[in-house]
Structure 1
Amino acid sequence: MTNASEYAKNVQEKIHQRNSHETEFLQAIDEFLPTIIPFLENHPEYAAQNLVSLITEPERVIQFRVPWQDDQGNWQVNRGYRIQFNSALGPYKGGLRFHPSVNLSILKFLAFEQIFKNALTGLPIGGGKGGSDFDPKGKSDGEIMRFCQSFMLELSKYIGPNTDIPAGDIGVGKREIGYLYGTYKRIKQYDAGVLTGKPLEFWGSKGRAEATGYGVVYFVKHLLNDLNEDFHQKVAMVSGSGNVATYCIEKLYQLGALPVTCSDSSGFIYDEEGIDLALLKDIKEVRRERLTEYVKARPNAKYFPGETVWDFEVAAELAFPCATQNEIGLDQAKVLVKNGVRIVAEGANMPSSLEAADYFIEEGLYYCPGKAANAGGVAVSALEMSQNSQRLQWETEKVDQELDKIMKNIYENCRDTAKEHQAENNFMLGANIAGFKRVAEAMVIQGLV
């Protein structure tokens, strides 16, 4: 065992001891640390400075109470969080998630991943994440507004356009961002750059809603270019039916692929003729209903209640998990290999378990981890910050061109870093080392603060 391996193992054990109950955070750590050992072997100074211990501990963890009143006049209370994990490259940047599953473990894992995702974009942003265990489903607009106002009343103490710039995530779309921003403006002052993912009516960026879904497809586009291939007539499996999945499906169609699945928490759709994008958008974005409505309009499609896309056996070359963390376990990974899938590109954050990711790599699949493949969302959020600073709003074509360019750079950085460390096509190792290198260098230059 090398000194770098021993050092990484010791750090890993200490993190497990200190955070023994934080399952998702520990999973992110266990995926990350072994992959950077080749880099630490070439740069023993980082181990000597114990930099890994510093980079795996959040700079600040904020938790607060969020009281709000429901439509019946009853007072409810939820927990609010903001994890400000690392600011070496710039102000904290990362989304807010409103979902009943939200806890410190999930937000720490998301914020930790965000550090390196943001680093890979090449833009001057650090890593953070936040949210609440509030569930927007089944709530009225008034209830959501009152919750958002109460949440921002406390969060506003810790954020700012040069300090921490939240965005949306699961359960936080343009409606919620609007309510959050309106409250911040009343408390502080008009500053468009304090939140991203804003509606276009007040300095949001064109192309932001599409960015994560488009970006994950662009990542694969550049991979296929390296293989002298394109998307033409390739069958794609997609999970989820939110922004990421919807616009992933849209871009797949634009580039010639055939996406045949989508899902929500109640089940999934298989449409052999290809997902009807207009119908999907109408159901999820306009009517805000469940996917059971899809088969009413498309009787040839099949709906599988209570089941997951990734247990479904259908011939496909591409897989885009775009729903949530740990949706693909080892058993599902084996199904994907059996289906003939060659490329797995993560639109969600850590949708593959560690065992599944390792299996993909062992089987020779092109596994594109979320911190690289789904960085398009935060990239366009950073472009939104630039537009806000300029008091300009770029046209959709310019934003899309910049997004494609950023995703190309991320892909090539992951590819080249993997090759440099004798791990060709291991994009997980390439992404982790490339992101770590950039953050670590900045931390050393700043005195490891």
Structure 2
Amino acid sequence: MLTDEYVKRVYAQVEARDPDQSEFLQAVQEVFESIEPVFAKHPEYEAAGVLQRFVEPERLVKFRVAWADDNGDVQVNRGYRVQFNSAIGPYKGGLRFHPTVTESVIKFLGFEQILKNSLTGLPMGGGKGGSDFDPKGRSDAEVMRFCQAFMTELQRHIGQFTDVPAGDINVGAREVGYLFGQYKRLRNEFAGVLTGKGLEFGGSLARTEATGYGLCYYTQEALRVLRDDSFEGKTVVVSGSGNVAIFAIEKATQLGAKVVTCSDSNGYVYDPNGIDLDVVKDIKLNKRGRIREYADRVDGAEYHEGCREVWTVPCDIALPCATQNEIDGESAQKLVDNGCTVVCEGANMPSTPQAIEVYQKNHVLYGPAKAANAGGVAVSGLEMSQNSYRLSWSFEKVDEELKGIMKNIVAESLDAAKEYGHDGDLMFGANVAGFTKVANAMVAQGIF
């Protein structure tokens, strides 16, 4: 519940303007509940109208994407790019290709990205984009034609000093390559305008692994500081089977845990002996298949229909790495009842408000997405630096930088939480630490 009159008034304005944007309203309310105490300490924020400006994108572009499928039939999708806040740097955030993409989804992701980018300590503002196009079942040629049509419009609005997109759900190395090729063709320039590029044309080592690895570095540091504990000997449940999940499984295993699940939109696999990552990589990265194939290839593994049911598997640590709102209050309670004491988020906003309430009531160590999954955009920022210098850093150097950034996010979150009397609350601290940096920059730059 909101109590500060200024914060309540601004939220009411957001709700009145965008009553049908449920994902965006959910993200805004969660942040507002944390940052209320900040305004008593910083009255200059209200005087400068920081909060009203903070929740309204600087720019939102919506466009038609027309392309031809392999049969020569014309297909039409919707494309989006929200340029939410540039107070501390150029807009930065991924592109998502998925049927569930709407203006509300893009705005919630862009809003969260402001805080996530701020927490990395790198000079990046918040943005996000995507389309309701579904690449699943499409040929490489169809995906290429779609990406070329999408970039033909998007290129008008982006640039290495303006807005630097990256990948997100269903936008991986293949899609980024096609997008970059079209940008270069249209603009006749080789610029660091996209991150997540191939190593041969300006990409960074460790970028593919960054979100999953970063999630585990964050979790390991939070465990160390708050519980004097680690991944060693823990049973871990992971949802998803894309890049984030795959490399979270890899790093958690390297840190001594046993990961027993992964999933896709149809269901999940349970392997009591620990997930065989080579099999998952072959199914998902090479064959673009369904996770049910895992149970056919690995002795002792079980496949279960229904992706939400993954949260019924007993574990010590849960790492949701699939999509938004995948853990509701009921699922969160099942996790707690089955012994889970740590939830750190690899996906964007995977826990509903009811789930977060369950975590807090049961003293679960909870790492919110905007902090825990910031590793991907952190290494994207490092890729931008390498592009500017025309250099390529070693995997070890990038990985060490990533580890330092994730440790620093934990420290900054806990410092901010302590300053406002919320010791140990990583969600509160992440929201406050991310917001105050951006708010100070907004005040310093005047009203625009």
TM-score normalised by L of structure 2: 0.98
2:29 — aligned with what?
A: 30
2:209 — aligned with what?
A: 210
User: Do residues 244 (structure 1) and 236 (structure 2) align?
Assistant: no
Aligned partners of 1:119 and 1:438 also within 8 Å: yes
Letter in 2 for 1:121: T
2:116 — aligned with what?
A: 117
Letter in 2 for 1:239: S
Q: Secondary structure at the match of 1:82?
A: strand
Q: Secondary structure at the match of 1:300?
A: coil
Aligned partners of 2:261 and 2:310 also within 8 Å: no
Aligned partners of 1:198 and 1:205 also within 8 Å: yes
Q: Distance in 2 between matches of 1:51 and 1:310?
A: 41
1:419 — aligned with what?
A: 418
Aligned partners of 2:263 and 2:307 also within 8 Å: no
1:264 — aligned with what?
A: 264
2:356 — aligned with what?
A: 357
Structure 1 runs not aligned, ≥5 long = none
Q: Distance in 2 between matches of 1:335 and 1:193?
A: 45
Q: Distance in 2 between matches of 1:389 and 1:189?
A: 18
Q: Secondary structure at the match of 2:64?
A: strand
Q: Distance in 2 between matches of 1:64 and 1:219?
A: 37
Letter in 2 for 1:245: A
Q: Distance in 1 between matches of 2:165 and 2:46?
A: 32
Aligned partners of 2:263 and 2:310 also within 8 Å: no
Q: Distance in 2 between matches of 1:159 and 1:258?
A: 42
> For residues 168-247 of structure 1, what are the structure 2 equivalents within 5 Å?
168-226=167-225, 227-247=227-247
Cα deviations across residues 358-413 of structure 1 (Å, max 9, x unaligned)? Answer: 22112111110000000000000000000001111111000000000000000101
Aligned partners of 1:93 and 1:125 also within 8 Å: yes
1:281 — aligned with what?
A: 281
Q: Distance in 2 between matches of 1:49 and 1:386?
A: 32
Cα deviations across residues 123-147 of structure 1 (Å, max 9, x unaligned)? Answer: 0000000000000000000000000
Aligned partners of 1:88 and 1:126 also within 8 Å: yes
1:149 — aligned with what?
A: 148
1:52 — aligned with what?
A: 51
Aligned partners of 1:239 and 1:309 also within 8 Å: no
Cα deviations across residues 3-26 of structure 1 (Å, max 9, x unaligned)? Answer: x71111111111101000001000
Q: Distance in 1 between matches of 2:214 and 2:311?
A: 26
Q: Distance in 2 between matches of 1:325 and 1:304?
A: 21
User: Do residues 74 (structure 1) and 89 (structure 2) align?
Assistant: no
Q: Secondary structure at the match of 1:193?
A: coil
The Cα shift of 1:93 comes to 0.1
The Cα shift of 1:80 comes to 0.5
2:379 — aligned with what?
A: 380
Moved more, 37-46 or 397-406: 37-46
Runs of at least 4 residues off by over 3 Å:
none
1:16 — aligned with what?
A: 15
Aligned partners of 2:379 and 2:398 also within 8 Å: yes
Aligned partners of 1:261 and 1:309 also within 8 Å: no
Cα deviations across residues 41-95 of structure 1 (Å, max 9, x unaligned)? Answer: 2112212332101100000000010000000011110001100000000100000
Aligned partners of 1:263 and 1:308 also within 8 Å: no
User: Do residues 133 (structure 1) and 132 (structure 2) align?
Assistant: yes
Q: Distance in 2 between matches of 1:243 and 1:124?
A: 25
The Cα shift of 1:310 comes to 4.2
> For residues 83-102 of structure 1, what are the structure 2 equivalents within 5 Å?
83-102=82-101
User: Do residues 63 (structure 1) and 62 (structure 2) align?
Assistant: yes
Q: Secondary structure at the match of 1:250?
A: helix
Q: Secondary structure at the match of 1:81?
A: strand
Aligned partners of 2:271 and 2:301 also within 8 Å: yes
1:292 — aligned with what?
A: 292
Aligned partners of 2:213 and 2:375 also within 8 Å: yes
Structure 2 runs not aligned, ≥5 long = none
Structure 1 vs Structure 2 CA RMSD: 1.2
The Cα shift of 1:307 comes to 3.9
Aligned partners of 1:249 and 1:259 also within 8 Å: yes
Q: Distance in 2 between matches of 1:318 and 1:191?
A: 43
